[in-house]
């Protein structure tokens, strides 16, 4: 690499569960010497994270931001609907996802402006952006695929939807079936799968999932917000079946040493569940 600084360009999806860990990853990368980090955000999502980015800068981890226009009105959504948590109904998620994948030309333009020298630039794109593979291939820069789920859930999706037709063999919505190919015996009902995987019987959704998995297969590697001690078996199994390099860097929120003192709004909208209550529930479960 010589004297060239590594430049990581992060593209988070516009939903809190996707964006919050990506912001933490940006802070982690920016804290390392010799790196430049740029976040691609829409104006509203930029405003939301400005306090935490300012605090990060004060601590010496500088993160640049380039803004993207979110084409809400182009798909029939009201202007300003730039995050999934602003949608009045889950029935609009499809339109939102379609709008999010209409920003390809903007991303390409910004990357062309920033990728000098090209060899030191890397795109870290959320799994929801289907166009990311095409952009990185067109510009000749490496791409890392961010998967906000854990390896266990991702393996289930792979074995149920990508490499088997197991759901076609299930006769009833509440009949249990064993997930093929898993390292342990895992059983679900079709109703549980539908609840967790957003109506997998929907043809358009299946096609989107196929594109998503194909998008992953051409990436340089995959970042999971998980950790080895929790999912060692599933991480290794995922690497073997997907033939991908995996970085398990989670829980990424632990990188934020000041998290205990931060207002929840800094990291996103106010949670409907109190953190103390979550800890109480975990203690009861244990």
Q: Which of 72, 34, 28, 27 has its CA nearest to residue 52?
A: 27
CATH number attached to the domain at 6-150+216-265? 3.40.50.2000
Q: Enumerate the domain spans of the chain.
A: 6-150+216-265
DSSP run (H or E) holding 123: strand 121-126
What is the C-alpha separation between 38 and 13, in angstroms, rounded? 15
Q: HSE (CB half, 13 Å, CA atoms) of 44?
A: 18
State pTM to two decimals.
0.86
Mean pLDDT within 14-36: 93
- What is the model's pLDDT at position 271? 60
Give 80-90 pLDDT, tens digit per residue.
Answer: 999 999 999 98
Q: Which of 7, 24, 126, 159 does the annotation list as catalytic? A: 126
Mean pLDDT within 99-113: 95
Q: HSE (CB half, 13 Å, CA atoms) of 123?
A: 29
The reply to whether 18 belongs to the active site is yes
Q: Which of 7, 18, 158, 159 does the annotation list as catalytic? A: 18
Average the pLDDT over each of 144-153, 200-209, 240-249 and give the range with the smallest value.
200-209
Mean pLDDT within 244-262: 75
Give 177-210 pLDDT, tens digit per residue.
Answer: 999 999 999 999 888 887 655 554 556 666 776 7
Q: What is the mean pLDDT of the chain?
A: 85
> How much of the chain exceeds pLDDT 90, in percent?
57
Give 107-122 pLDDT, tens digit per residue.
Answer: 999 999 887 666 689 9
The reply to whether 237 belongs to the active site is no
Mean pLDDT within 11-40: 94
- What is the model's pLDDT at position 141? 92
Answer whether 242's CB lies under 8 Å from 217's CB: yes
Q: How many of the other CB atoms lie within 10 Å of CB of 204? A: 9
Q: What distances in angstroms separate CA 239 from CA 65, 162, 231, 281, one per listed residue?
A: 32, 15, 12, 33
More confident residue, 225 or 277: 225
Using the predicted structure, report yes or no on whether residue 267 has a pLDDT greater than 60.
no
């Amino acid at each position: 690499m010589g004297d060239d600084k590594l430049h990581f360009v992060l593209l988070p999806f516009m939903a809190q569960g996707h964006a919050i860990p990506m912001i933490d990853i940006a802070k982690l990368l920016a804290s390392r010497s010799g790196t430049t980090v740029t976040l691609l955000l829409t104006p509203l999502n930029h405003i939301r994270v400005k306090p935490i980015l300012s605090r990060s800068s004060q601590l010496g981890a500088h993160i640049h931001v380039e803004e993207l226009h979110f084409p809400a009105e182009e798909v029939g959504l009201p202007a300003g609907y730039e995050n999934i948590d602003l949608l009045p109904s889950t029935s609009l998620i499809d339109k939102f996802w379609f709008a999010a994948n209409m920003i390809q030309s903007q991303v390409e333009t910004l990357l062309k402006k920033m990728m000098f020298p090209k060899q030191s630039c890397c795109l870290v794109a959320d799994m929801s952006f289907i166009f990311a593979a095409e952009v990185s291939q067109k510009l000749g820069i490496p791409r890392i695929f961010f998967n906000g789920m854990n390896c266990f859930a991702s393996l289930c999706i792979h074995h149920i939807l990508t490499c088997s037709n197991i759901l076609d063999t299930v006769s009833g919505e509440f009949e249990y079936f064993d997930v093929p190919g898993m390292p342990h015996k895992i059983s679900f009902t079709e109703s549980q799968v539908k609840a967790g995987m957003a109506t997998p019987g929907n043809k358009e959704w299946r096609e989107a999932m196929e594109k998503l998995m194909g998008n992953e297969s051409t990436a340089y590697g995959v970042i999971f917000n998980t950790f080895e001690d929790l999912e060692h078996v599933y991480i290794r199994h995922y690497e073997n079946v997907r033939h991908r390099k995996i970085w398990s860097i989670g829980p990424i929120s632990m990188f934020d040493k000041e998290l205990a003192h931060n207002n929840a709004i800094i990291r996103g909208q106010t949670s409907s569940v109190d953190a103390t209550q979550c800890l109480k529930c975990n203690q009861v479960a244990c």
